[in-house]
C-alpha cells in the first residue's frame, strides 16, 4: 500500500468482511466486500428493535459519537441517542459507511483486489467500479444479515440517506417495517446533477488529481475537492439562512476595503472547503455523487414509480423542509402520490424551516417529534 495515506486512511474502523464479495449493478464484482459500521443500543432478544440509519453524501457511520478524525459530534447527535427520536435506550441502531465511501467500507481508498479477491498492493482509486444506491443497499443488507437481523423495525435517512431508505423499501419490502425518507427524492433532478458536475469538473481540473491516480504520488486534489465542497455547501443552505448568518458582513473591517476575501461568507465557505479535504477522498466524492445522479427509482421499475411500492406493508413517514431547494417539497409530494397510488400507508409532513436542506441535520423540534412518534408506532407494531 502507498505510504502517503490521507488522514482518513490512518483510522481503524469496526468492519465486517464478506469474502464472496458483491456483484454491482454495473457488472463488476467487489470481493471481498467490506462494510464498516457502528451500532448503538442493544438488540433485543426478539431481534425486533433494529433501526438502520443511512447517511448522506459526505456522512459516515459516526452518527452518534465523536468523529474519530474531526473530533466533532456525530452528524445526527440531535436525533440519535438516549431519549431522542431514534432512542438508543429502546432501539438497536446500525449505521454503515456506504459502499464507495472512504471511512472503511469497500471504496476507492481501500486496497484494490482482483476478481478472486487477491490484494493488488495499491488502492482502488479511480478504478473502483461505479456504484448505485441499490448497490449501497445490497451491501447494507449483507451486514444486516450478518448481524442476525431478518427484519428492520425502521430504515431512516435524509438526502442520499433517504434515497437508500426508498431503495430498501422497494428492494427488500419484507424486511422493512417502517421507512422514513427525509429531505429526499425518487430521482436526482437536472439541477442537482448540474451542481454535482461542477464539483466533478473542479476535481478533474485540479492537476493534483492526476487522472484519479493521485495516490501514486501521495497527492490530494485539495483545491478541486475544496471547490466541489464549497458549491455543494451553498446548495445545502437556504438563501435566508446564508443571509441571516452572514448577510453582507465584512471580515474584520467596518467598511469596504477592496481586499480579497472581504465578506464573512467567503471565508466561511473557504473554511468548509479546506477542512473537508482532510476527511474525504476525491475518488469517493466522484463515485458517490455519480451514484446519486444515477438514482431514478421509477426507471428501476419500468418507468412507473408506484410499481416500486405495490402491495407493500411498509409504513412510511415522508418529511420535507419548506426552504430546501435542493430536494424541494414538491419532490416529496410526488413520492407521496406514488405511495398513495400503491395504497401504501404513508404520513407526510412538510416542516416549516428557513434552514434549507441542512435542516434535517439540525434542531428542528417539529420534525423530531414527528420522527419520534413514527418510530414509537413502529415499535408498538413489532412489539419492540
Q: Which residues does the annotation mark as catalytic?
A: 159, 324, 357
* Binding piece for a second copy, criterion CB under 8 A, among 144-152, 245-253, 304-312, 367-375: 245-253
Q: Does 172 bind a second copy (CB under 8 A)?
A: no
Shortest Å, Cβ 315 to a second copy: 29
Nearest Cα to Cα of residue 153 among 143, 168, 138, 134: 168
Contact characters 111-140, a second copy, x per CB under 8 A: ------------------xx----------
DSSP conformational letter for 250? B
Backbone angles phi, psi at 98, to 5 degrees: -65, 150
Inter-CA distances, 76 with 60, 72, 84, 269, Å: 10, 11, 10, 22
CB distance 297 to 187 below 8 Å: yes
CB distance 295 to 133 below 8 Å: yes
* Binding piece for a second copy, criterion CB under 8 A, among 51-59, 72-80, 263-271, 315-323: 263-271
Distance between CA atoms of residues 382 and 377, nearest Å: 9
Helix (H) or strand (E) holding 319: strand 315-321
Q: Does 248 bind a second copy (CB under 8 A)?
A: yes
Q: Does 301 bind a second copy (CB under 8 A)?
A: no
Nearest residue (CB) to a second copy, 256 versus 313:
256
Shortest Å, Cβ 277 to a second copy: 12
Q: How would you list the strands of the sheet with 92-96, edge to edge?
A: 15-18, 33-40, 92-96, 50-54, 152-158, 176-182, 315-321, 345-351
Shortest Å, Cβ 354 to a second copy: 13
177-236: which residues touch a second copy (CB under 8 A)? 187-191, 193-195, 197-198, 201-202, 205-207, 223-224, 226-227, 230-231, 234
Which residues have a Cβ under 8 Å from the Cβ of 233 and sit 6 or more positions away?
A: 269, 272, 273
Q: Does 328 bind a second copy (CB under 8 A)?
A: yes
User: Given candidates 32, 111, 210, 263, which one binds a second copy under the rule CB under 8 A?
Assistant: 263
Nearest Cα to Cα of residue 99 among 20, 22, 211: 22
Count of positions on this chain that bind a second copy (CB under 8 A): 49
Shortest Å, Cβ 168 to a second copy: 20
Radius of gyration of the chain (CA): 21
Shortest Å, Cβ 267 to a second copy: 9
77-116: which residues touch a second copy (CB under 8 A)? none
DSSP conformational letter for 130? P
A 10 A CB-CB count for 62 gives 23
Nearest residue (CB) to a second copy, 101 versus 129:
129
Site residues (vs a second copy, CB under 8 A): 25-26, 129-130, 187-191, 193-195, 197-198, 201-202, 205-207, 223-224, 226-227, 230-231, 234, 237, 239, 242-243, 245-248, 256, 258, 263, 265-266, 269-270, 273, 290, 293-294, 296, 299, 325, 328
Amino acid at each position: 500500500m502507498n505510504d502517503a495515506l490521507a488522514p482518513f486512511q490512518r483510522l481503524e474502523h469496526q468492519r465486517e468482511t464478506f469474502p464472496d464479495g458483491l456483484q454491482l449493478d454495473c457488472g463488476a464484482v467487489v470481493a471481498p466486500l467490506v462494510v464498516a459500521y457502528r451500532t448503538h443500543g442493544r438488540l433485543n432478544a426478539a431481534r425486533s428493535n433494529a433501526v438502520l440509519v443511512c447517511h448522506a453524501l459526505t456522512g459516515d457511520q459516526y452518527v452518534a459519537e465523536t468523529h474519530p478524525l474531526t473530533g466533532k459530534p456525530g452528524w445526527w447527535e440531535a436525533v440519535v441517542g438516549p431519549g431522542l427520536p431514534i432512542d438508543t435506550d429502546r432501539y438497536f441502531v446500525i449505521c454503515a459507511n456506504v459502499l464507495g465511501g472512504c471511512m472503511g467500507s469497500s471504496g476507492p481508498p481501500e486496497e484494490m483486489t482482483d476478481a478472486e479477491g487477491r490484494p493488488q498492493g495499491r488502492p482502488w482509486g479511480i478504478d473502483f467500479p461505479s456504484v448505485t444506491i441499490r448497490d449501497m443497499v445490497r451491501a447494507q443488507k449483507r451486514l444486516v444479515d450478518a448481524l442476525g437481523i431478518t427484519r428492520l423495525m425502521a430504515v431512516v435517512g435524509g438526502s442520499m440517506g433517504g434515497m437508500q431508505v426508498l431503495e430498501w423499501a422497494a428492494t427488500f419490502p419484507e424486511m422493512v417495517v417502517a421507512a422514513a425518507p427525509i429531505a429526499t427524492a425518487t430521482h436526482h433532478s437536472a439541477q442537482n446533477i448540474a451542481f454535482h458536475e461542477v464539483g466533478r469538473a473542479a476535481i478533474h481540473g485540479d492537476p493534483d488529481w492526476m487522472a484519479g491516480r493521485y495516490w501514486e504520488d501521495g497527492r490530494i486534489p485539495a483545491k478541486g475537492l475544496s471547490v466541489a465542497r464549497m458549491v455543494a455547501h451553498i446548495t445545502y443552505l437556504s438563501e435566508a439562512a446564508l443571509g441571516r448568518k452572514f448577510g453582507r458582513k465584512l471580515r474584520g473591517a467596518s467598511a469596504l476595503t477592496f481586499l480579497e476575501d472581504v465578506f464573512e461568507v467567503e471565508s466561511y465557505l473557504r473554511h468548509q472547503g479546506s477542512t473537508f479535504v482532510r476527511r474525504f477522498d476525491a475518488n469517493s466524492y466522484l463515485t458517490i455523487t455519480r451514484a446519486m445522479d444515477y438514482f431514478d427509482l421509477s426507471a428501476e421499475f419500468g418507468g412507473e414509480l408506484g410499481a416500486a411500492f405495490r402491495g407493500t406493508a411498509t409504513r412510511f413517514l415522508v418529511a420535507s423542509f419548506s426552504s430546501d431547494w435542493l430536494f424541494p417539497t414538491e419532490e416529496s409530494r410526488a413520492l407521496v402520490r406514488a405511495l398513495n397510488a400503491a395504497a401504501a400507508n404513508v404520513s407526510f409532513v412538510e416542516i416549516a424551516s428557513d434552514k434549507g436542506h441542512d435542516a434535517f441535520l439540525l434542531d428542528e423540534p417539529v420534525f423530531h417529534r414527528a420522527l419520534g412518534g413514527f418510530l414509537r408506532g413502529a415499535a408498538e407494531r413489532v412489539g419492540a
